[in-house]
Amino acid sequence: MGVKLGILGLGTVGTGTVQLLQDSAGRHPLLQEIEIYRVGVRSLDKPRVVELSTEVLTTDLESIVNDPAVDIVVEVMGGLEPARSLILKALSNGKHVVTANKAAIARFGAEIFTTANQAGVYVMLEAAVGGGIPVIQPLKQSLSVNRIHTITGIVNGTTNYILTRMQTEGSNFSDVLADAQRLGYAEADPTADVDGLDAADKIAILASLGFGGRINLQDVYTEGIRQVSKTDIAYAEKLGFVIKLLAIAKRDTPSSPLSVRVHPTLVPQAHPLASINGVYNAILVEGEPIGQVMFFGPGAGAGATASAVTSDILNLVAVLKINTAVANPLLACGHQEYCQIAPMAELITRFYARFLTNDQPGVIGKLGTCFGNYGVSLESIVQTGFQGELAEIVVVTHDVREGNFRQALAEIRNLSAIESIPSLLRVL
């Protein structure tokens, strides 16, 4: 007897998944045991590019998660509600769930995984981070014996596309964003992408898997790319860096608190993440004893995401075939405790800062003195240009405690020669 799927959603990801399942030749033979049993949508009148019989399509999504015949529910509808309630209902009804919904998992993961554990079923989410890139299963399984200390990702394709074009064309953020929307790369409401919220959801999920604890999304420091200017991109390039929106989770020792953050970052041009351009994603995992492993590929799109969703479905088909009553600890989410997150003031990082100053003698000396007062050591300080009457001074620090750097900046802001500090970015 085939394994029956109830798919919630037939948009980009749902359609890609149905197409893959309907074209199984040359792929894993277990795919042939899967039956697309029900598919839930909002509108039955919308034209569809996949052929499904009228008995399969429904607008009654509750009936899918409550149908005793459905073995696996595939949630690819997105959004928070009703997706959350439908996932919870499916799990309570003893169905395994596959989801691509990073927003729901990052917010309701605790509730969802507790319900799954109680019901003895699995929640699989390979497509939730990095689209088609296999990174969830590697963190859960292949890399799980490593002591992970850093996960650094370019996990949002829209912002990487915008920053790449700003870099290569010397264009402004707003112009490239408008163009990306016109071309369909950026959504009509780009807030979640450009303000770093989508990347924050994704790093919360990766950190939870890599560091074995739950992450409170509110603890993830999040800064987007709206304030990144073409001036900073040009300065960064002169200094040997590119600017990327990085999502970082880091723990120095197994007993230290975790730092989880999303912000635009100056990345040295020789770093493996510096060459990840356009809509591509990459995730660099560093652990002991493995060293560095990087996962690279398409972070979105119908085919790529369908690959991840369908591989999760296949894992569950294998589970159903073995029909074991004992949960597989490499597939289940076992942790119950929240990770302790370090405050940003304790972060040790390098900084890039751009100052607009009155062109007076001794300004660079005063800047150096203020930084020195708080133990901030400078790697470089350059005055290369003018904006009107104002001199532009760019500083890169050595590693510094963020709290000390902020104290120095507060003092610098009070210097009469300082007109403004238009940019402040962290350096990898």
Query: Quick check: 101 binds ligand NAP (CB under 6 A)?
Result: yes
- Of residues 126, 78, 74, 125, the one with CA closest to residue 95: 74
Please say if 202 is a catalytic residue.
yes
Residues near 355 by beta carbon (within 8 Å), at least 6 away in sequence: 367, 392, 393, 394, 395, 412, 418, 420, 421
Amino acid type, 394: V
CA distance 333 to 156: 24
Residue 99: name the closest of 56, 71, 129 by CA. Answer: 129
Number of residues interacting with ligand NAP: please give it, by CB under 6 A. 25
In the complex, minimum distance from the CB of residue 13 to ligand HSE, in angstroms, rounded to a whole number: 9
Rounded to an integer, what distance in angstroms lies between the CA atom of residue 97 and that of residue 74? 6
Q: Which of 1, 25, 43, 288 binds ligand NAP (CB under 6 A)?
A: 43
Minimum distance from residue 304 beta carbon to ligand NAP (Å): 7
Residues 143-172 that bind ligand HSE (CB under 6 A): 156-158
Work out whether 78 is an interface residue with ligand HSE (CB under 6 A). Answer: no
H or E element: which one contains 417? none
Q: Look up residue 198 and give its two tokens.
A: 């989508």
Interacting residues with ligand NAP between 52 and 91 (CB under 6 A) = 61, 76-79, 82
Find where tokens 């997150």 sit.
341
- List 4, 12, 271, 382, residue binding ligand NAP (CB under 6 A): 12
By CB under 6 A, what part of segment 284-313 binds ligand HSE? 299-300
Contact indicator for 215, 204 with CB cutoff of 8 Å: yes
Closest CB to ligand NAP among 91 and 427?
A: 91
Q: What does 147 interact with, of ligand NAP, ligand HSE, none (CB < 5 to 8 A by kind)?
A: none
222 is a site residue for ligand HSE (CB under 6 A): no
Q: Which is nearer to ligand NAP, 124 or 412 (CB)?
A: 124
Residue 112 sits in the site that holds ligand NAP (CB under 6 A): no
Q: Strand 57-58 to strand 34-40: parallel, antiparallel, or no bridges (unpaired)?
A: parallel
d(CA 360, CA 338): 52
Residue with CB nearest ligand NAP?
A: 11
Q: Which is nearer to ligand NAP, 64 or 260 (CB)?
A: 64
User: Toward ligand HSE, which CB reaches closer, 18 or 133?
Assistant: 133
φ, ψ for residue 245 (rounded to 5)? Answer: -85, 105
Catalytic residue, from 202, 230, 238, 366: name it.
202
Pairing verdict, β 96-99 and 147-154: unpaired
131, 121, 42, 301: CA torsion to nearest 10: 10
Size of the site for ligand HSE (CB under 6 A): 8
Residues of this chain that bind ligand NAP (CB under 6 A): 9-14, 40-43, 46, 61, 76-79, 82, 100-102, 127, 131, 300-301, 305
Residues of this chain that bind ligand HSE (CB under 6 A): 131, 156-158, 193, 198, 299-300
